[in-house]
Structure 1
């Protein structure tokens, strides 16, 4: 991409836009022992905040595993991991993060789905 023929412009990776997402950081004691324990806690938190909800995407740093699987393959040089991009482009409204990225979960309230995601 160029602004004109003499001054080429490189697009820099940008951080994700969380402006429409409630960001929750949790550091419970004791810490969750694994992904399933973290997911149980995250689902409870999502239920309390959103009511009926849908888990859109997640990341488990312990196992370096994400859902949807392979979402980050297209984001190798991006500042935004694939599971984050997936959630944000599907109107996630809640992110729950355990221990600074150890486990991350994105949620959408079901009533938003019923309204067509708007």
Structure 2
């Protein structure tokens, strides 16, 4: 999975704005894409919920492992991991 880092702490991005930016980037790089998983460090929320519970002590967080095992091609990391979004192109499904 390729990683793209967006660092702009001076903008004070909230989750919704970071999500829209990540989706736009995924659209440019992958074409039509879907978000397979995400993480919000400030609220300690992830989707799918509970993905990290069975990864306690593992080097790879559950939300990343979940996406990687479902064909994710792009990980967008915002502000040093404050928000993380994993995407896969849906082109093969069209």
TM-score bracket relative to the smaller structure: over 0.9
**1:40, distance to aligned residue in structure 2 (A):** 0.7
1:38 aligns with 2:18: yes
**1:77, distance to aligned residue in structure 2 (A):** 1.7
RMSD: 1.3
**1:83, distance to aligned residue in structure 2 (A):** 0.2
Alignment size in residue pairs: 93
Greater per-residue helix proportion: 2
Residues 11-70 of structure 1 show CA distances to partners (whole Å, capped at 9, x for unaligned) of xxxxxxxxxx221000135131x2111101111111111111010000000100000000
Unpaired runs of 5+ in structure 2?
none
- Residue of structure 1 in register with 2:53 after alignment: 73
Runs in 1 of length 4+ with deviation above 6 angstroms?
A: none
Radius of gyration: which is bigger?
Answer: 1
Residues 64-101 of structure 1 show CA distances to partners (whole Å, capped at 9, x for unaligned) of 00000000110112111110110000010000001111
Unpaired runs of 5+ in structure 1?
1-20
